[in-house]
Every structure is written in structure tokens, then in C-alpha cells.
Structure 1
């Protein structure tokens, strides 16, 4: 569970790291008004608390040939906990599924899927998604363009 007792320096650290995860500890310390050792201690504490979950590169999908992004709304036949977990386990094993969120309401899950082209998406849809156990229906929408793709969360300015 993330630590919710964050002070203004913690928030500055998080904002800087979210903007540039490759920033050096010395640069980060300077930007937030600390020396390097306490800056590193705070970073480690934020990592250990789970507030900072990971560091990663934001890869351009098209540069690797993934030209299509699709959102799929999945309804299951059963919403029993074991069936929900089984579906989640199934999609975790599918590399084309980049995000999976359980929803309330008519739709049980929304998935963000990347594909190289329409044909590969169609093959994925029929062989991996609609044929999965307990899947009742899948409604898909292909993205036309992305107006905003902001990673992370809003961090209050201090």
C-alpha cells in the first residue's frame, strides 16, 4: 500500500521522476533542494512503500510495427470470482493486451490491445480473445488518433 503521508519534497521528487525517470540522483537532488544522500534515501523509501512502482521506457509502438491500437469491451458469462480471476490470468499471458481493467456495469473488462495490422488483430480476436473460456461477448473500437497519452498521475504543485 502506498504511503499517503507525502510532504512537499516527496511530491517534487515524484513529479521530477515521473517527467524523467532517467534523471541522475545528483540532478534530482538539486532540483528538489536536497543533497544526494537524503534524496536517494527518500527515493528508496518511496520505492519500498510502493508509491514508485517501476521505471520504464515509453516505447513508440509504431516504431516496432504495432500500428493499431484497439479497445475491447469484454462481457463474461459468469462474474464469479474464480471466473474473473481465470480471465485476468488468461489476458496476463497475452502480450498484445497492454492493459486490462475490470469495470462495473454491463461490461466486465476493458482491454487495450496493440496489433501490427487489421489482419493480425482479427486473428488475435478470434483465436485468443473471443474463444477464451467464459467470454460471452467482445465489442471492439479501433483508435483513429490519440489526442492525449499522459503517463502517470497528476501530482499537485507545491
Structure 2
């Protein structure tokens, strides 16, 4: 997707919505210096352009028993496009995999995985990930703590 040209009000809208996706249209309009109707039109335009991909709650994984977060570096036996797509499709079917990014270099993919505990992660690793077709190797790193977990992107003021 190509970059979109935003004016100062669009950037303020994006910044406010990224900070608080539950803000009311009236509150949002007030913060960005608009009345409610044009604010809503601009929001809809940002959604339709793809700048706003969706809205979600930022849930604490521990409240649902996910006490383990692991990053897995996956190397594939083949990097043919069909094999890459097959791996990506497999990963999309795994709910514990929260992020999947294809990399350049020695490692083909990095995955962010959540699990309830080490035993459930080990089970996932051996039955779902390393056993997947075309997987050559998986190297994992268990997170100790998270110093920063900021969703979104920096928005210029």
C-alpha cells in the first residue's frame, strides 16, 4: 500500500484514535478542532483508505492465563513462493501465533507465540510448528520481561 498524504487534522485524528480507540466522535471532534459531522466523515475516509485497519481491545494476556511469550525464528527447507505461502497459511491457522513476519537473511520467519506455560508451549512447538511441512529448523527465545509494548506507529505532530 502506498503512503497516503495526510493533513494536520488527519494526523491528529490518527494519533487520538491510536491512543484511545473508544473515544466518542464528539470527544474526538473537540480534540482535533472539528464539529462532529466532518470528524465522522474524515474517520470514515481514513477507514476506507486503509489507514485505519480496525479497532480492538488491548487485552492483558496474563488475565487469560497466557504467562509465556516466545519469539520463534523459523527457517524453511525451500523458499519457493508456493512453500512460503503454504507456511504462512499454516501459521494463520494457529491461534497461539500472534504475529508472523517474513525476514530477509538467514532466518525466514519470526513468530510471536503465546502459551499458558512451558509445557503447553513445548507441546505446541513439537506438534504444530516443527512438525509443519517444509520447516527446517526453529530457534526459540522465551521473553523474560517486556520493557515496551506500544501498538501502532509514531505519528508526527
Shorter-chain TM-score tier: over 0.9
State yes or no: 1:83 paired with 2:83. Answer: yes
- Unmatched runs of 5 consecutive residues or more in structure 2: none
Aligned length: 157
1:16 and 1:2 map into 2 onto residues whose CA distance is 23
* Aligned counterpart, 1:66: 66
- Unmatched runs of 5 consecutive residues or more in structure 1: none
Runs of 4+ that moved beyond 2 A? none
- Give the 3-state SS of the residue equivalent to 2:104 in structure 1: coil
2:70 and 2:44 map into 1 onto residues whose CA distance is 36
Q: How far has the Cα of 1:2 moved from its partner?
A: 5.6
CA contact 1:3–1:49 (8 Å) conserved in 2: no
State yes or no: 1:94 paired with 2:133. Answer: no
TM-score, normalised via structure 1 length: 0.98
For the aligned residue pairs, the C-alpha RMSD in angstroms reads 0.7
1:97 and 1:155 map into 2 onto residues whose CA distance is 27
* Aligned counterpart, 1:19: 19
Equivalent residue runs for 1:45-56 within 5 Å: 45-56=45-56
Q: How far has the Cα of 1:3 moved from its partner?
A: 5.3
State yes or no: 1:123 paired with 2:110. Answer: no
* Aligned counterpart, 2:44: 44
TM-score, normalised via structure 2 length: 0.99
CA contact 1:2–1:50 (8 Å) conserved in 2: no
CA contact 1:29–1:39 (8 Å) conserved in 2: yes
